[in-house]
Structure 1
Amino acid sequence: MPTASHSPAAPYKKSLALLASLFFMWGFITVINNTLLPHLRSVFDLNYTQTTLIESVWFIAYGVMGMPSAFLIERIGYKNALIVGLAVMAIGAAGMVPAAQIPSYGVTLFALFIIASGITLLQVAANPYVAVIGPPESAESRLTLVQAFNSMGTFFAPYFGGYLILSRTVGGNALAGTEISLEQRLADAHATQLPYILVAVVLVILALIIWRAKLPTLGASTRRANAEERKHLSLWSHRNLVFGIPAIFIYLIAEIGVANLFINFAILPEIAGITPAQAANYLVLLWGGMMVGRFAGAFIMRVFPADRTLAVFALFSMVVMIGAATLHGPAAMWCLVLVGLGHSIMFPTIFALGIKGLGPLTEEGSGLLITAIAGGALVVAQGWLADTIGLQNSFWLTVVCEVYIIFYALWGSRPTDVQEPEVLA
């Protein structure tokens, strides 16, 4: 029976490639929201708080479904969990069709919650799988590399959403402050139907492919420790996990706040003064920076320690966010573009550092870290700040988030109470 210390290159190459397609898909769907939000803001005439509440509902699903997903995986196994997750996402994507036809703000929120619930299940299953499928010392590099395909999905999504949603609507081609009639808003609402129909079809196809695929299963030591073992093991004795949970939570506030408010920020007259459709093209560069950063980071961490690499990327992110909060004109917009590069390695590196040394507790630790993705729900707090003190000043919240990531990289990520590495069967 192969162990986690063996190279995954030969036996697990196909499995990793298949998992990479899942990472691509959930990144793609998540970032469609970045083009969906300014669209819905126009359709339903929302303020920033109401707009960011849409994304908050998306991330509330992680908080609600994170640990239930871990328990479900224990009962049905990783492969079946991936299939169920894709099926749930397809149902949610299909639900966006009646939401657009009505149109209904409430039904839209519900459909997005269903999609996010499916993604949560995929995240809880796929992230620890990739982390333990090869040598423990290269877990951060391996997970960052596969997460690069997630960023590839985020790179193409703005093109997809910009072309099929924003460019086909009146609101998507209007400058900030332009009045749009009720009839035009209703017509714009229908633009989301085709993109989500296409997404639902692709998700069903992926579920069928995984159903027929042969994926290696995690060995007994990666399953929940039995009651007797649990008496001697505690998740809370692992400093890297204890500080890693808020690190994921806080990082998501930073990433989602920047991405979701990017288009609204870029179209301001005092920043770039462009249309939402044009701003979507610059959003592509932000996600492109994340993709490039993850591919580069995967190789950098083969030479330099993951915690030090994380600290450098976080410091860079803090500097450019200070620029976004203080500069004017296109320079401020370009600072937001550059933060994609700084944010690139944060999630996979924090995740891998957080589960390092958990041994048989890896599955539960993964569930807690994925639950912490609910931090993205607090983007509504940045929406409230934008309404209260101005959109640009709201980015000081992101600066504070970067400071915590630096702290985690330099001290909080150091493992304690290290357990034996997991075994693959």
Structure 2
Amino acid sequence: MSGTTADRKYLPAIVLTVALFFLWGMANNLNDILIAQFKKAFTLTDFQTSFVQQAFYMGYFLLAVPAALVTRAKGYKTAIVTGLVLYAAGALLFYPAAHYGEYLYFLAALFVIACGLAFLETSANPLMTELGDPKTAAKRLNWAQAANPVGTVFGVLIGKYFILSEIVHDDSTVAAMPPAAREAFYRSEVVAVQTPYLVIGLVVLLFAVAAAVIRFPEHRAEETVGTPSRFVDVFRHPRLIFATITQFFYVGAQVGMWSYTIRYAQANVPGMAEHDAADYLFASLVLFGIGRFVGTALMGRIAPPRLLAIFAVVSAVLAGVAGLVGGQVGLYALVLASLFMSIQFPTIFALGIDGLGPLRRAGASLIIMAIIGGAVLTGLMGHISDLAGIDTAMLVPAVCFLVVLAFAVKTGRTVSGQAIQPTIH
């Protein structure tokens, strides 16, 4: 069968898989909106708002390896349908969570969504390389990757226009309200998240139905051989272990900075409504998307470890400015840092699994588990913010980028300068 015929044969599966990159990008960055919304609706401290990311990334951590095992044992279709059903179920759980108005119920719903995304992320990247002619695999993967930043931007737009309000109330104003008015205000802020997530849940459920009837590549029996022992073998690869540790710190930096961008903007520009502060998060994600295209192009001329080192240094400096300078300058630095964060996750990922051969998927699931850094370090930033202010909390990402720099320098000594095909988060 020719490459063109093979691509045409799996065209519906290619289109659906590309959509998965969009869907998990949207879900990840809607969390940044939820943090601002729940802080107001439930009168939370910064540390308490970090529970959003802790619940979410715990789902990734706990389900990454099971997802890889299901993919290997049952095939891509089963893993993708499972992931979409879990994603839809978690989104639909926002409806009863809003009805009862309990923060804990929202956290449980986010955990279920993340469990679904663990299945989707673990299966979608390798799947794109198998859907059609191997000669066009890189082109297909690049196409799919382009949908991810589009999803992140779309998620922020949904949050800005359908969840966040333009009302600016400080704590003293809310406290001065009559009890009935105050209760109505809190209630309206909780219910605001209900309809967007209900719509998302129904749309994702339709994708699950489509995935169940679409033809995917047949599962190969040899993929199930030796799964337990092969996973243990990944711990014999020092570079993979270093990449996993580095990814923990990088994801913690990325998630923490985006989680608190709205909070930082409001703290450094007095009187700014969260609705307007969301524009800075939107700008961050646009720069992040631009950075991915620019960074990928630069990899044709600059060795990936060296480019990663350069981007890590600039990110550390900008995060440091946000932490030490503050004000409008600090806010601009925080936004600009996203341009240089853009290539870091995929480059760390690709360098970490490079040369693993048959251990590639097991190694990938180990790195996916490192996403738990988004929960741990966002919580740390929230705690520091409560104690010393949101500006000081931005020094945590600055330190994280130094870990990325160390990995890039170390890896650059052992990897040749050939271009790599990164996997996008």
Scaled to the shorter chain, the TM-score interval is: 0.7 to 0.9
1:236-290 superposed Cα distances (whole Å, 9 cap, x missing partner)? 232331111111111111001001111011011x446411000111210111111
What residue in structure 2 maps to residue 407 of structure 1? 406
| Contact persistence 1:272–1:329 (CA under 8 A) | no
1:294 aligned residue: 292
Which residue of 16, 23, 26 maps to 1:25? 23
10-19 vs 292-301, greater mean Cα deviation: 10-19
2:333 to 325, 332, 335: 335
Structure 2 matches for 1:3-14, cutoff 5 A? none
Conserved? CA contact 1:225–1:360, under 8 Å: no
Q: Which residue does the alignment assign to 2:394?
A: 395
**Counterpart of 1:119?**
117
Q: Is the 8 A contact 2:13 2:131 kept in 1?
A: no
Name the residue aligned to 1:164: 162
Aligned twin of 1:194: 195
Q: 1:422 matched to which residue of 2?
A: none
Q: Which runs of 5+ in 2 are unaligned?
A: 175-181, 417-425
How do residues 4-403 of structure 1 correspond to structure 2 at under 5 angstroms? 15-130=13-128, 146-167=144-165, 172-177=166-171, 179-180=173-174, 181-217=182-218, 223-226=223-226, 230=229, 234-268=233-267, 270-271=268-269, 273-378=271-376, 379-403=378-402
Q: TM-score, normalised by structure 2?
A: 0.87
Deviations 1:153-173 (A, max 9, x none): 111211111111113xxxx52
Change (3 A) 1:317 1:186: same
Code of the aligned partner of 1:203: V
Q: Distance in 1 between matches of 2:351 and 2:138?
A: 7
3-state DSSP of counterpart to 2:260: helix
Separation in 2, partners of 1:2, 1:249:
42
| 1:382-405 deviation per Cα after TM superposition (whole angstroms, max 9, x unaligned) | 101111121101111100100111
Q: Deviations 1:286-332 (Å, cap 9, x if unpaired)?
A: 11111111122222223332222222221221121111112232111
Shift of 1:75: 2.3
Give the direction of change, closer, same or farther, for the CA distance of 1:214–1:371 in structure 2 (3 Å limit).
same
SS of structure 1 residue aligned to 2:193 = helix
Q: 1:326 to 1:251 in 2, by over 3 A?
A: same
In terms of mean alpha carbon deviation, does 275-284 or 65-74 score higher?
Answer: 65-74
Displacement of 1:213 in angstroms is 2.6
Change (3 A) 1:44 1:60: same
Sort the Cα spacing of 1:360 and 1:86 in 2 relative to 1 into closer, same or farther, 3 A: same
TM-score, reference length from structure 1: 0.87
Cα distance between partner residues in 1 of 2:247 and 2:62:
16
Give the Cα–Cα distance (whole angstroms) in 1 for the partners of residues 18 and 350 of structure 2: 16
Task: Write out per-residue CA displacement over residues 357-412 of structure 1, whole angstroms, 9 at most, x where no aligned residue.
Answer: 11111221111111111111111111011111211011111001001111112214
Amino acid at match of 1:173: I
CA distance in 2, matches of 1:307, 1:122: 27
Runs of 5+ consecutive residues of structure 1 not aligned to the other structure: 417-425
Shift of 1:218: 6.4
Could you tell me which amino acid in structure 2 is paired with residue 207 of structure 1? A
Provide, for residues 140-185 of structure 1, a one-character-per-residue CA deviation record: whole Å limited to 9, x for no partner: 9975663332111111211111111113xxxx52154453322210
C-alpha change, 1:346 and 1:183, in structure 2 (3 Å) is same
**Structure 1 stretch 333-342 or stretch 295-304: which is displaced more?**
295-304
Judging changes above 3 Å, is the alpha-carbon distance between structure 1 residues 337 and 131 closer, same or farther for their aligned structure 2 residues? farther
Kept after mapping to 2: 8 A contact 1:144/1:298: no
Partner of residue 421, structure 1: none
More helix by share: 2
Could you say what the CA RMSD is over the residues aligned between the two structures, in angstroms? 3.0
| Contact in 2 for aligned 1:253/1:376 (Cα 8 Å) | yes
User: How far, CA to CA, are the matches of 1:73 and 1:116 in structure 2?
Assistant: 17
Equivalent position SS for 2:390: coil
Distance 1:220 1:182 in 2: 58
1:303 and 1:76 map into 2 onto residues whose CA distance is 40
Structure 1 distance, partners of 2:27, 2:126, is 21
Contact 2:264 2:391 in 1 (8 A): yes
Q: Report the AA paired with residue 324 of structure 1.
A: A
CA change 1:353–1:271 in 2 (3 A) is: same
Distance 1:184-1:230 versus aligned 2 partners, 3 A rule: closer
Counterpart of 1:261 in structure 2: which amino acid?
A: Y
Question: Residue 26 of structure 1 contacts residue 119 of structure 1 at CA under 8 Å; is this kept in 2?
Answer: yes
Q: Structure 2: how far apart are the matches of 1:273 and 1:189?
A: 22
Query: Would the aligned equivalents of 2:266 and 2:273 in 1 still touch at CA under 8 Å?
Result: yes
**Tell me, what secondary structure is at the counterpart of 2:115?**
helix
Match of 2:423 in 1: none
User: Structure 2 counterpart of 1:166, which letter?
Assistant: L
- Cα 1:281/1:77, change in 2 over 3 Å: same
Once structures 1 and 2 are overlaid, which stretch shifts more, 180-189 or 12-21? 12-21
User: Contact conserved, 1:140 with 1:353, CA < 8 A, in 2?
Assistant: no
Question: Quick check: 12-21 or 384-393, which moved more?
Answer: 12-21
Distance 1:64 1:143 in 2: 26
